[in-house]
Every structure is written in structure tokens, then in C-alpha cells.
């Protein structure tokens, strides 16, 4: 698995490890930590809360990267308010309940990471895991910009198609500026090389 696919999981795992192994800063974990002799530990000393907040930023960054790869917004919609709740509770809430905001935010970050993981896992299990093209969609429906006719076509896995003749009006389509092929310009799914973040030409 590429590192860019794991950034959010690394960040969320890091913030929970920081909290669990620093029960003096996160009392809700004190009982469990005390069973392993960490009852009064503070993992990073005076840096604990700064490391904790850094892990939140890492997790958010990973979810943003994942969004640009998969266009799946729900994890970010969960994570950003959760992170805001943690930062607000720690920096601005002067009441005795600020820790509850932090804990609720942590649960939200965990939920966002889990939702993102399940979505990405579903995307990565289309077909045979040993086949690098198995997670790639090979069909795309092209819409002719001249007559509006739609037709589903099968795309090549190792090249791009520069010209396409509409079977309805016989117009010859070419990619729009900035696109590598007609599927990227007029199709419902971009060509396989682009899906795999590789050069198509």
C-alpha cells in the first residue's frame, strides 16, 4: 500500500497512541494504561499535546489527499468538525468540560478514518488483487458534444484514444485542451492510465 493511502491512518493511530500512553493528560485512558504500568506516564513530556495536535493535522492531510484521489467527501465532513472540536476544547474552552470535547473529537477522527478506509478498501477490491488493472474501470460512456448521443465504450488499459467518431452524427471528437484523450474529455470515466496516475502516452 502506498504511503499516501495511509497518511490518515498513521495520523489517527498516532493521536490515539499519544493519548493512551499519556494518561496524565487524558484521564479517560488512565485505568487501561495503569494495567500496563503507564498510569502516570506522559509519552512526550511537555510536548504531548503538541504531538497530539500534530497527529490530528497529519490525519486531516491524509484525508485531503484521499479526497483528491477518490473524490469521496464524507470522511472530511466528519474529520474537520471533529478536529475543530478538539482544538476548540483545548485552546478556548475554559470550563471543566473541555476534555469531553477532545474525547468526542477523537471518536470523530476515528470514525472519519474508518469510513475512508472502508471506501478505499471497496475501491481496491474490484477484481483480482494481483492484477494491477483490476481496480481500474474499463468502460466509459462518451457523450457527443455535437448531438448529445451517448455510447458506452471499452477503454484500452495501456494507451489513450485521441480520436473518436460518433456513431450517431459521425462527428470526429478530439480531446479538449489539457486532456489526454476523448474519454477524459467526454466520458463518464477517465482513461485507465489516468486512473492509475500514470502517463497515458
Does residue 150 share a domain with residue 63? no
Asked whether residue 67 falls in the same domain as residue 108, the answer is yes
Residue 65 burial (CB < 10 Å; 0-12/13-18/19+)? middle
Decide: 175 and 195 in contact? Cβ < 8 Å: no
Which are the contacts of 179, defined by CB distance < 8 A and separation ≥ 6? 185
What is the number of structural domains in the chain? 2
Are residue 91 and residue 37 in the same domain, yes or no?
A: yes
Q: Hey, is 198 helix, strand or coil?
A: coil
Is 96 found in the same domain as 164?
no
Alpha-carbon radius of gyration of the chain: 24
Residues 29 and 118 in one domain: yes
Query: Does any domain span residue 57?
Result: yes
pLDDT one digit per residue (tens) for the chain, 201 residues:
455 557 777 777 777 776 666 655 666 655 555 555 555 555 556 677 788 888 888 888 888 888 887 788 888 899 999 989 988 888 887 777 788 888 888 888 889 888 888 877 765 544 444 444 457 888 999 999 999 999 999 988 777 888 999 999 999 999 998 888 999 999 999 888 888 777 665
Q: Which pLDDT score, from 0 to 100, does residue 33 have? A: 54
**Whole-number Å distance between alpha carbons of 3 and 18:** 21
Q: In terms of domains, do 80 and 150 share one?
A: no
Are 10 and 94 in a shared domain? yes
Say what the pTM is.
0.51
Q: Is 52 among the domain residues? A: yes
The range of the structural domain enclosing residue 179 comes to 139-195
Instruction: Give residue 36's pLDDT.
Output: 55
Amino acid at each position: 500500500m502506498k504511503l499516501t493511502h495511509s497518511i490518515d491512518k498513521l495520523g489517527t493511530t498516532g493521536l490515539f497512541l499519544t493519548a493512551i500512553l499519556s494518561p496524565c493528560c487524558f484521564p479517560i485512558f488512565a485505568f487501561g494504561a495503569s494495567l500496563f504500568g503507564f498510569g502516570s506516564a506522559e509519552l512526550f513530556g511537555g510536548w504531548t499535546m503538541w504531538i497530539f495536535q500534530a497527529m490530528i493535522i497529519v490525519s486531516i492531510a491524509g484525508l485531503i489527499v484521499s479526497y483528491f484521489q477518490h473524490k469521496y467527501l464524507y470522511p472530511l465532513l466528519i474529520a474537520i468538525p471533529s478536529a475543530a472540536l478538539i482544538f476548540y476544547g483545548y485552546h478556548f474552552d475554559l470550563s471543566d468540560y473541555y476534555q469531553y470535547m477532545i474525547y468526542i473529537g477523537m471518536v470523530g477522527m476515528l470514525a472519519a478514518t474508518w469510513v475512508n478506509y472502508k471506501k478505499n478498501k471497496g475501491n481496491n477490491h474490484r477484481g483480482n488483487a494481483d492484477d494491477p488493472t483490476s481496480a481500474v474501470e474499463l468502460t466509459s460512456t462518451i457523450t457527443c458534444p455535437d448531438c448529445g448521443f451517448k455510447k458506452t465504450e471499452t477503454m484500452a488499459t495501456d494507451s489513450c484514444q485521441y480520436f473518436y467518431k460518433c456513431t450517431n452524427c459521425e462527428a470526429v471528437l478530439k480531446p479538449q485542451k489539457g486532456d489526454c484523450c476523448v474519454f477524459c474529455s467526454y466520458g463518464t470515466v477517465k482513461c485507465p492510465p489516468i486512473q492509475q496516475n500514470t502517463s497515458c502516452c
